[in-house]
């Protein structure tokens, strides 16, 4: 039995997909011909709380896009003719999906992180490596076994990714700027192949979904805390009986000018790397996204308040930050690359995000759970389900590339 739990997430469905693959896109096959189906009212009520779930995808009768595809193919197109290869933050990706950074928790720092690298590589989708990996697991250049270190994860990805597709994005936030993660990666011989083929990026972490306004948090043993005491604040909150300490990173201070200049400096210092900026679900998310894009960021990633793999205070999980749907609404029309994450695990939510202005969706918790369910092919299976659903949905909407999904394809009840 697996150890990883995710009580606030449709974990059972994700596990099922990770283990059984695309059969799970449909109801149980044994029910076929024996039952009638339809939306589950209990699920609908549950969805009302999540603004993105309240949207419905609504196909039209008249489909000029299908006619164009019919003319191109000289036969009626099907969902299998839908193109899903996408431009994701300066990379080519096999589908409009990337693996977002996992939070600073024990769950993500072990073998699952390495499995994520391998399978994201196999899928040909970008992978973000979290800011926590280097301080917690090390860099891995000196010494024998790269294993779980930053270099180990980059290498696991590079060894499996097909040529000309995908990319690795290395995250850094305020306090690990001290460790110069980006400088280290940029000048590393192990990474040159990705760099030279335009498949290395750096993500500036401005904030995150689960606890907007706070920095990263990890629970450490006293011994580990002592080792990191110079770099991070430690808070002994868990009572005298435990041997555990809360490690708190600072969220970092940003103004418009600070964000603008940090992005410019990244482009100046690492001209051959892609630049991503990760924003929290903040009330000024639109203004922040615009500053980042105008300063030259290849992508802005927004983590909805429902997102998050890492440890966060309950008050923040329940009450702080905008849901992803509201982030998308506030950002509104734009011509740049917007990447979003937050409870994404299947094709319908992904399609809604794409229709509302995202270029791709990030898998965080869903990826971790899928890998936990099946470390060999869990993420691949999950992503293949998502891709199949995206193809079906886009074709139903009369569109034959996922990039064509737009606001007209979704309906918000009451609008």
Partner 1 sequence: MVLMRSAGPSAPGEHLASPVTRSVLTIQQHMLIAARGFLRDRGFTEMLAPIIGPVTDPGARGAKQVDVDYYGHRYKLMTSAILYKQASLTAFDRIFCIAPNVRLEPLETASTSRHLAEFHQIDVEMAGASAADVMLLAEDLVRHVVRQVCAELPRELDQLGRDTGAFAGLLSEPFGRLPHASAVADLAGLGYDQNPAAEIDWAAEEMLSRKAARPFFITGYPKGSRGFYDRESRETPGRLCNFDLLAPEGYGELCSGSEREHDYAVIIARMRETGENPAKYGWYLELVRQGIPGSAGFGLGLERFTRYIAGLDFVWQASAYPKVPGVPLP
State which residue, 111 or 222, has the beta carbon closest to partner 1: 222
State which residue, 200 or 305, has the beta carbon closest to partner 1: 200
**Minimum distance of partner 1 from residue 108's CB (angstroms):** 24
How far apart, in whole angstroms, are the C-alpha atoms of residue 192 and residue 186? 8
Residue 316: CB partners within 8 Å, gap ≥ 6? 210, 211, 212, 214
Phi then psi for 86, rounded to 5 degrees? Answer: -140, 155
**Minimum distance of partner 1 from residue 178's CB (angstroms):** 6
**Minimum distance of partner 1 from residue 182's CB (angstroms):** 8
- What is the number of H-type helices and E-type strands within the chain? 18, 15
Residue 133: CB partners within 8 Å, gap ≥ 6? 109, 113, 148, 149, 150, 153
First to last CA, the chain: 45
DSSP, collapsed to helix, strand or coil, labels residue 46 as helix
State which residue, 133 or 354, has the beta carbon closest to partner 1: 133
State which residue, 255 or 318, has the beta carbon closest to partner 1: 255
Question: In 145-287, where do the E strands start and end?
Answer: 168-172, 200-205, 217-221, 233-235, 244-248, 274-279
State which residue, 27 or 213, has the beta carbon closest to partner 1: 213
**Minimum distance of partner 1 from residue 246's CB (angstroms):** 19
**Minimum distance of partner 1 from residue 273's CB (angstroms):** 9
**Minimum distance of partner 1 from residue 370's CB (angstroms):** 34
How far apart, in whole angstroms, are the C-alpha atoms of residue 104 and residue 70? 49
State which residue, 297 or 367, has the beta carbon closest to partner 1: 297
How far apart, in whole angstroms, are the C-alpha atoms of residue 359 and residue 117? 21
Binding residues vs partner 1 (CB under 8 A): 174-175, 177-178, 180, 183-184, 186-187, 189, 192, 204, 230, 252-255, 257-258, 260-272, 295-296
């Amino acid at each position: 039995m697996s150890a990883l739990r995710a009580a606030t997430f449709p974990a059972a469905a994700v596990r099922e997909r990770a283990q059984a693959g695309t059969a799970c896109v449909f109801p149980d096959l044994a029910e076929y011909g024996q039952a009638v189906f339809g939306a589950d009212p209990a699920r609908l009520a549950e969805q009302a709380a999540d603004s993105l779930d309240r949207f419905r995808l609504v196909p039209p009768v008249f489909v000029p896009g299908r006619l164009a595809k019919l003319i191109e193919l000289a036969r009626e197109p099907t969902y299998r003719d839908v193109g899903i290869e996408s431009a994701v933050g300066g990379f080519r990706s096999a589908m409009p999906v990337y693996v977002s950074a996992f939070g600073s928790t024990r769950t993500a720092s072990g073998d699952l992180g390495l499995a994520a690298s391998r399978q994201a590589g196999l899928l040909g989708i970008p992978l973000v490596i979290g800011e926590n990996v280097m301080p917690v697991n090390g860099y891995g250049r000196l010494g024998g076994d790269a294993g779980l270190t930053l270099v180990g994860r980059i290498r696991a990805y590079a060894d499996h990714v097909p040529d000309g597709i995908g990319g690795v994005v290395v995250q850094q936030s305020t306090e690990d700027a001290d460790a110069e993660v980006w400088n280290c990666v940029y000048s590393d011989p192990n990474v040159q192949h990705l760099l030279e083929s335009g498949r290395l990026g750096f993500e500036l972490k401005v904030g995150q979904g689960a606890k907007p306004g706070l920095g990263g948090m990890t629970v450490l043993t006293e011994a580990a805390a002592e080792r990191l005491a110079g770099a991070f604040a430690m808070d002994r909150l868990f009572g005298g009986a435990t041997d555990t300490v809360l490690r708190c990173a600072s969220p970092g201070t940003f103004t418009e000018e600070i964000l603008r200049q940090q992005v410019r400096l990244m482009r100046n210092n690492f001209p051959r790397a892609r630049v991503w900026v990760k924003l929290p679900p903040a009330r000024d998310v639109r203004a922040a996204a615009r500053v980042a894009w105008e300063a030259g960021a290849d992508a802005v990633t927004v983590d909805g308040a429902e997102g998050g793999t890492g440890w966060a205070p309950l008050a923040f999980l329940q009450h702080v930050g905008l849901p992803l749907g509201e982030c998308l609404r506030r950002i509104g029309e734009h011509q740049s690359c917007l990447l979003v994450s937050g409870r994404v695990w299947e094709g319908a939510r992904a399609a809604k995000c794409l229709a509302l202005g995202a270029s791709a969706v990030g898998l965080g918790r869903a990826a971790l759970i899928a890998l936990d369910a099946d470390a060999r092919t869990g993420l691949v299976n999950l992503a293949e389900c998502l891709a199949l659903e995206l193809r079906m949905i886009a074709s139903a909407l009369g569109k034959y590339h996922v990039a064509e999904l737009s606001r007209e394809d979704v309906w918000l009840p009451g609008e």
